[in-house]
Structure 1
Amino acid sequence: MIEKEVHTKIYCHHCGDLCPDEGIQAEGNFFCCNGCRMVFEVLSEKDLCAYYDLNQYPGKPQGRLPRKDRFAFLEKEEIINSLVSFSDEQQTHATFSIPYMHCSSCLWLLENIGKMQPGILTSRVNFSEKTVFIIFDNKKCSLRNVVETLTMIGYEPCLDLNTHPKDKPRPIKNKRTLAISVAGFCFANLMMLSLPEYFSLGGYLEERIGHVFRYISLLLVLPVFFYSAREFFINAWAGLRTARLNIDFSIALALLLTFSRSCYNLFFLDGATYFDSLSGIVFFMLIGRWAQEKTQRSLVFNRDYSSFFPISVNLIKGERIMPTPISALKKNDIIEVYDQEIIPADSLLLQGKAMVDYSFVTGETLAKPVEQGAVLYAGGRQIGERLELMVLKPSNQGYLANLWNKEAPDKEKKQHERLHKTSNYFTLAVLLLTAGSALYWFLNGNAGAGWRVLTTTLIVACPCALLLAATFTNGHVLRMYKKAGLYLKNASVIRSLADINHIILDKTGTITNSNGFTVMYQGRPLTDEECCWAASLLKHATHPLSRAVAAYLGTRNSTPVKHFKNQPGKGIEGWIAERHLKIGSRSFVLGKPDTEAMNATRVFLKIDGATIGFFELQNSYRGDMASFLKRLQQKGTVSILSGDNNAELTRLQELLGADADIRFYQSPDDKYEAVCFLQQRNQKKVLMVGDGLNDAGALQQSDVGIAVSESAKTFTPASDAILDGAAVTQLDQILYLAKKSGNVVRVAFLVSIVYNIVGLYFALQGQLSPVVAALLMPLSSVSIILLTLFLSEWYGRKLKPVNA
């Protein structure tokens, strides 16, 4: 007797592909090629084998090993400059497109890549964009080393030397549209061909043409089953390969059962088919997904910070200066950047003395001098005199937004992993319920009900709306905030706003209108030349009072300013035409304490050590300030911290009450300490609202920091949100909507649960037809979208749009 040799299939431990033999092994594991084995050995050496615990077979097939010196071209300076977004003598920033990223294991490995290449300082993944933002130490590795490391572990980046990965146009995906068209055409014709079965008058049509129509129906259902429905089967198989039971597994199983049963009936039993139901399921499911995808794409757009990033720049064209959105900047455009303004694009320094603070980019607070002709990178903040720059690359607002929103990727990653786990458990529970109920009906002799249960339960039960309730709600709230002039870093700020119970307001430029000061000059009359000097110096100042005085002096021919120094919250001094000017507060200019009582705010002027006079400014409050402050006090306790003098004390006490916490002569450090005291001693959740320039420390320390911006150029990285000055008096409604957004999520969550319970109740009893189930599933997602939209609009109905 000849024994038959039994071959056991062996799958690659890394990628899951079938191994051709048992020759390639490492640590007791089998691999399909040396490339997969090498990746495993690298991960094992760096103690990163937890990668394989997150998903089964998470890796990408490696094939042959990469050719040596394949990436040698990445050592050329011109190529490096085209790929990096920032570089100095210490670190380099670069964003890579990773098209092979497909699961949570990929995300985990890419964010831990620094363990394999010690020179990598930070790695942050944008899963939806399939990009990874990497910061590496120039002294420990190079751009080539980073790319080789990514390639070695199976995530070779897509290198495009012409455009940034986020700027590349996406191809229009019309596959789903075609699939819907095919399914719709076949479904309509199948319904017509099914008329003999539904309306066979005395069996007349059934006897003569019904049998022929069934075979024609089989031909029509084939493109639906094998083409239109393939995304369900592809996604289901991908889930199974990674040990995940996704939603598409349930749908694919239901379609397979319906098709198999129909073919069995057609060829072996009574000929009754359900091809029309199958095509209806596919058609309505695809329509539902198309509608949901459109909605989600809209939400993503509204959450795309680059689409409304509130920063513009002055574009110089001949003798004209035009404020221009940075998204409209082109290569070789000439722009000007003033003190404390963000450099919006990689540029060449043409004129001016640059002292650039890259703390926004690198975390280092030390400003660095840059010589004329050198490159200034996007994200740096100019400290000092006005600069003229020539744009080298079109501005990438996405890069600036990425720097602003550093915490978002980790939160999105955790949410992504939670969704996968919840989806797994939900699908497993549905499969068990379906199998148990179908078995019950089959054992009780009701095969028709059993087949309906197998088909409809797998389709009608869907956690999509359940899982996306918070996403839809946050998307709608972000959209409404955008219209109202509030721009948030990320959706998590909404939850932080909902917890606020103490609000700190800056006075000048926050509750007062920066463009509404009444200015009067007292002192020795100024000559035209002196007015020109003062206006030229104040052009470099950032404080709202300085800007108000500059506007009062009017537009004059600018005189070059040398060696000026800006003291935040105090004033500015500098040399103009060999004259020394000092403009600012009483203590800064005269050296006398500011505690002396005054009836109005004063900005003093000194030229060459002689006090010339002062500008007296009367504050103009925004809107109906009395009503606004009363409404705001209902949301929490309110404090006012101002660096100005106490001229407005009596008026503010009338508005807030005699016992209100109102402080004047507050330095930026004083405001920071006040926030810390409230958080640590009083356990308060603090919202700080300031102009963003003198309040950076307090904004960063607070639970939520909102920078008020009158000009789109004064972007503040330290804040969690940016608020248009015209929307300040809507702050109470902003807080109200944030608190109520939690209610919207809870209501949508409850509706989703009720839908699934009711749907399963009828489906498990075999009372639903497959087509009705296919209609109900997308309707659940649409209903959640409409519900969150309606409730968000209702709670935010008092928010008024502003022209940002």
Structure 2
Amino acid sequence: MKNTQCYHCGNHCNDTKIKLNDKVFCCNGCKTVFEIFTENDLTCYYDFQNNPGAIPNEIKGKYDFLDSEEISQKLLDFNNNNTQIVTLYIPHIHCSSCIWILENLHKLNKNVNNSQVNFPKKTVRITFNAKNTSLKELVILLSSVGYEPYISLEDYEVEKKKVDRTLLYKLGIAGFAFGNVMFLSFPEYFEVNEYWLEKFKHIFRWVMFAFSLPVVFYAAQDYFTAAFKGIKNKILNIDIPIALGIFVLFVRSTTEIIFDIGTGFFDSLTGLVFFLLLGKFFQQKTYNFLSFERDYKSYFPIAVTKINKDESEENIQIYDVKKGDRLLIRSQELIPTDGILINGNAQVDYSFVTGEADAVKKKSGDKVFAGGKQLGEAIEIEVLHAVSQSYLTQLWSNDVFQKDKTSSFKNITDTISKHFTVAILSIAIIATSYWLFIDTSKALNVFTAILIIACPCAIALAAPFTMGNMLRIFGKLKFYLKNALVVEQLAQVNYLIFDKTGTITTNTKNSITYLGDEISYKEKGALKSLLRASNHPLSRNLYHEISVNTKTTIHNFSEKIGKGLQGTFNKNTIKVGSASYVKDELESNNLNTSVHVSINNSYKGKFIFKNSYRKGVSKLFKKLNKHFHLAIVSGDNQGEKEFLKKILPKKTQYLFNQKPKDKLNFVAKLQKENYNVAMIGDGLNDAGALAQSNVGIALSENINVFSPACDAILDAEKLDKLNLYIHAAKKAVTVVKYCFLLSLVYNVIGLYFAITGQLTPVIAAILMPLSSISIVIFTTISTNIIGNKLK
């Protein structure tokens, strides 16, 4: 029993023998963790990986400092009465078992609502009920099961982000090993038979073996983990043939040098892993380049309204928000940073942060947190600190608030990898069976050779390099896609739906005329103050049109999305919006877009808007009409339908007087008819349709509303380039397909040598790196050509 491994942590038990259920543990700590997992039906933890745990540390009194509310507040991302959110850095996270147990914390503590692991950063984001448990209790729980968080108040006050360089380390190790193994292989490549080679040949081979060990067991471990998960979930992903190829390369090469029957394929092995990691590194660097944390001002086209000392208002980039600034937050706007409520009554929807739909009421002097959406009247907050860029980015990508569009979408790599894996295994079995009858000695050699040479390195590299480069190119052209998958989804779109107001029309050039009874100066002041709280494009436009400087306090503010606004001033009720909302009747003359006004249920009149259409809209639709079905879906009336018919293609479909739900239902109806739909809207009343569509594109024109439903953000000035962007996405997918064909050519050549039993290390060393390098060069050149055409 001296060398028995601990069932929980894997350490040698030596003379310590603690047994439970025929399992041996090195200490009572490991045994206690096992008992905890057993009691809570969490023993699947040990199925993912053998001995995945760590010895729990002594924690008595260690975290008493967390009893201090002042200290705890500095660690929390979010704190609203009963719901708190904290992100903890846990160095021990290293495998799928760690992810599984940490994302099942709710089984160990019923007050944990949700826990989400960020594996590359080794962090876990925990949402918990602060009424029944505390941050200290959570930290003690984590420590007791071997996942002690690293807590440094200094780090948390300055910046919480921990830079994870794991991929860089793996790439460096693989590259170093690859270079050295190639040099050590050269003498045998060229069959140098001098005395020194015969003398040092075996030493060279064992040195190459030594170089391959960290590559296989460290640098390539992610591929084995992903392959294991794929097999467990009965999914044939691209990682299965890759992991199989790496495994066979290593086993066969090791066997050859042990029995002195060859030099092995260590050069191909290290080269394969190096190029795979290079592709992953390139993809990561591309995402970092596009990351909203790198240059928030450039990559997140969102503004906020700042109130200056002279009470004037100006739109500023969110990046420029500083501590002490006064910000105006209108109805439906996202609170961009933590602040103190200084004016107005807040009704904050924190569902975007916590998942809980109930709005929270706040009064003057209360603290409000980033990520909440104001539902009521306009409020003013004083900024407590600069905008946390990474926090807002985290909010946008939070899985709780994402409609999972990826679950039903198979990307091109996954689609082809399924067939590729089946084909290669079939070829290997057939070829091996053939050689078992012809020449038994070659059968095993042929089987392993096929798995080695057919490893889909080039296929795995094609999509990351192509789509990653396209993300970078689109970003430079002010078209910001959320991830690489959106490029493929965009390429499959065949039906385009456009919102009208604020999308194909501009909010900055509309002409407005008033028709009706005279509105007094005080009433205009009240009307402007009511409009000030709304973010609808017509409300914003009319707000700037009314030249009144007085401010009126509005009470009982309410907004019915797509209908209108209501509030009270000096015991008077004012309503603004559609005719059906303001005077309970449909407008008989629907020739123009109108906003109606009533005071104390006495109808005053209407503001008539003459829309100004964006430059190039007519040409854009004519180009899109050649390849797509088109529709205009608007909440406005049919006043401009005849005009639109003159400037837009004949087959364009028009739907007016559409409520937000109607837009969503129209998208869903088209999807049931097997259309791939892209919705282009301004991100306000179109949020539901944007989320429902296959690709939701939010147009940005100095918009203050944060729209998490979209898959892409397009600068309004670039709307006329939309057809070029979609065409470029289709070209990118074509490039990936060409890469697959190129990879197929290499595989056919390699398979010829493998099936005939002629595969030698030198042939593998030439074909495998050549295929990877040629794919990288081809995708880079091709996507750059596509990008230059866009410019």
Shorter-chain TM-score tier: 0.7 to 0.9
Matched ranges for 1:36-47 at <5 A: 36-47=30-41
1:65 and 1:486 map into 2 onto residues whose CA distance is: 49
- For the residues of structure 1 that align with 2:94 and 2:423, how far apart are their CA atoms? 21
Rounded to whole Å, the distance in 2 between the matches of 1:479 and 1:124 is: 28
SS at match of 2:121: coil
- 1:504-523: CA deviation from partner (whole Å, max 9, x where unpaired): 33211122122232334556
Paired residue type of 2:20:
A
Residue 612 of structure 2 aligns to a residue in which SS? coil
Task: Kindly state the Cα deviation for residue 379 of structure 1 after the two structures are TM-superposed.
Answer: 0.8
2: CA distance, partners of 1:601 / 1:410:
35
Task: For residues 56-75 of structure 1, give each alpha carbon's deviation from its aligned partner in whole angstroms, at most 9, with x where no partner exists.
Answer: 40512x33553334333333
Matched residue type, 1:465: A
Inter-partner Cα distance in structure 1 for 2:432 and 2:227: 20
Q: Tell me the residue number matched to 1:153.
A: 145
Structure 2: state its 5+ residue gaps.
229-242
Q: Sort the Cα spacing of 1:45 and 1:354 in 2 relative to 1 into closer, same or farther, 3 A.
A: same
In the other structure, the counterpart of 2:683 is 692
Q: Partner residue of 1:367? A: 359
Shift of 1:411: 6.5
Structure 1 partner of 2:710: 719
- 8 A contact 2:496–2:631 mirrored in 1: yes
Which of 6, 12, 19 is the aligned partner of 1:12?
6
Deviations 1:495-543 (A, max 9, x none): 5545555443321112212223233455678888876665554333312
Aligned equivalent of 1:121: 113
How far does the alpha carbon of each residue in 1:739-762 deviate from its partner, in whole angstroms, 9 at most, with x for none? 665555444344434434433543
Aligned partner of 1:297 in structure 2 is: 284
Q: CA deviation at 1:120?
A: 1.8
Structure 1 position 104 matched with structure 2 position 99 = no
SS of equivalent to 2:594: strand
Compared CA separation, residues 124 and 21, structure 1 to 2 (3 A): same
- For 1:687 and 1:656, how far apart are their aligned partners in 2? 18
Q: Measured at CA, do residues 701 and 231 of structure 1 come closer, stay the same or move farther in structure 2, by a change above 3 Å?
A: closer
Q: Deviations over 1:717-753 (max 9, x none)?
A: 3334433323434444555555665555444344434
Q: Relative to structure 2, which stretch is displaced further, 698-707 or 502-511?
A: 698-707
| In 2: Cα distance, 1:63 partner to 1:550 partner | 63
Q: Deviations over 1:331-367 (max 9, x none)?
A: 5555443332211222232344322121222334443
- 1:620-659 aligned at under 5 Å gives the runs 620-655=612-647
In 2, Cα distance between equivalents of 1:107 and 1:505: 41
- Distance in 2, Cα, partners of 1:116 & 1:664: 53
SS of alignment partner, residue 514 of structure 1: strand
Q: 605, 616, 619: which one pairs with 2:611?
A: 619
Residues 1:464 and 2:457 aligned together: yes
Which deviates further from its counterpart, 558-567 or 242-251?
A: 242-251
The reply on whether 1:32 has 2:19 as its aligned counterpart is no
- Cα gap change, 1:474 to 1:99, in 2 (>3 Å): farther
> Is the 1:94–1:135 Cα contact (8 Å) retained in structure 2?
yes
In structure 2, the partner of 1:387 is: 380
Give the Cα separation in 2 of the matches to 1:659 and 1:189.
67
Using structure 2 for the length normalisation, give the TM-score.
0.78
Q: More deviation in 337-346 or 402-411?
A: 402-411
CA contact (8 A) 1:352 1:388 kept: no
Once the two structures are TM-superposed, the CA of residue 585 in structure 1 deviates from its matched residue by: 3.7
- Separation in 1 of the partners of 2:624 and 2:326? 44
* C-alpha separation in 2, matches of 1:24 and 1:509: 70
**Inter-partner Cα distance in structure 2 for 1:796 and 1:248:** 35
Q: Match of 2:750?
A: 759
Question: Letter of the aligned partner of 1:94 in structure 2?
Answer: V
**Is residue 475 from structure 1 mapped to residue 454 from structure 2 by the alignment?**
no
Question: For residues 30 and 66 of structure 1, do their structure 2 counterparts lie closer, same or farther at Cα, with a shift above 3 Å needed?
Answer: same
Distance 2:109 2:740 in 1: 43
Residue 138 of structure 1 is matched in structure 2 by: 130
Paired with 2:434 and 2:216, the residues of 1 have a C-alpha distance of: 24
Is residue 728 from structure 1 mapped to residue 719 from structure 2 by the alignment? yes
Q: Which residue of 1 aligns with 2:510?
A: 517
Q: Measure the CA separation in 1 of the matches of 2:182 and 2:119.
A: 36
Shift of 1:157: 2.7
Could you say what secondary structure the match of 1:517 adopts? strand
1:706 corresponds to which residue? 697
Cα 1:57–1:333 shift into 2, 3 Å: farther
1:312·1:712 contact (CA, 8 Å) conserved in 2? Answer: yes
Q: Residue 279 of structure 2 contacts residue 464 of structure 2 at CA under 8 Å; is this kept in 1?
A: no
Distance verdict in 2 for CA 1:250–1:518, change over 3 Å: same
1:573-631 per-residue CA deviation (whole Å, 9 max, x = no partner) reads 55679987654444445x16343224432334567877666443221222333343344
Residues 6-64 of structure 1, C-alpha deviations (whole Å, 9 max, x = no match):
x69543333444443583233333333333333332222222323333x340512x335
The percent of aligned pairs where both chains have the same amino acid is: 35
Kindly indicate whether the alpha-carbon contact (under 8 Å) linking 1:310 and 1:715 is maintained by their aligned counterparts in 2.
no
Residues in 2 aligned to 1:42 and 1:423: alpha-carbon distance in whole angstroms: 43
CA distance in 2, matches of 1:321, 1:302: 33
Quote the Cα distance in structure 2 between the aligned partners of 1:11 and 1:241. 22
Q: 1:655 to 1:239 in 2, by over 3 A?
A: closer
> What pairs up with 1:190-339 in 2 under 5 angstroms?
198=192, 211=196, 230-235=214-219, 249=247, 252=250, 288=275, 291-302=278-289, 304=291, 306-307=293-294, 308-314=299-305, 323-327=315-319, 329=321, 331-332=323-324, 334-339=326-331
> How far does residue 380 in structure 1 lie from its aligned partner after superposition?
0.6
Distance in 2 (alpha carbons) for counterparts of 1:175 and 1:743: 31
User: C-alpha distance in 2, partners of 1:469/1:459?
Assistant: 19
For 2:663, the equivalent position in structure 1 comes to 671
Q: 1:235 to 1:504 in 2, by over 3 A?
A: closer
Q: In the superposition, relative to structure 1, how do residues 58 and 626 fare at CA in structure 2: closer, same or farther (>3 Å)?
A: farther
* 1:568 counterpart (561, 565, 569): 561
Q: Distance in 2 between matches of 1:715 and 1:440?
A: 68
- Alignment deviations for residues 73-124 of structure 1 (CA, whole Å, 9 cap, x no partner): 3332223222222222332222223332223333333222322222222222
One-letter code of the match for 2:148?
Answer: E
Gaps of 5+ in 1: 1-6, 201-205, 266-272
The residue number in structure 2 matching 1:344 is 336
For 1:14, give the aligned amino acid.
H
Q: Is the 8 A contact 2:429 2:447 kept in 1?
A: no
CA distance in 2: counterparts of 1:758 and 1:32, whole angstroms? 53
> How far, CA to CA, are the matches of 1:658 and 1:282 in structure 2?
59
Change (3 A) 1:398 1:241: closer
Aligned to 2:368: 376
Amino acid across the alignment from 2:457 = C
CA contact (8 A) 1:336 1:389 kept: no
Do 1:497 and 1:704's aligned partners in 2 also have CA atoms closer than 8 Å? yes
> Aligned ranges for residues 512-551 of structure 1 at < 5 Å?
512-521=505-514, 535-551=528-544
C-alpha contact 1:34 1:63 (8 A) present in aligned 2: no
Counterpart residue type for residue 398 of structure 2: L
Count of residue pairs brought into register by the alignment: 763
766-775 or 344-353: bigger deviation: 766-775
Structure 2 counterpart SS, 1:78: helix
Q: C-alpha offsets along residues 676-725 of structure 1, whole Å, 9 cap, x if unaligned?
A: 55556x56554433322223334344454433331252221333443332
How far the C-alpha of 1:562 sits from its partner, in A, is 2.5
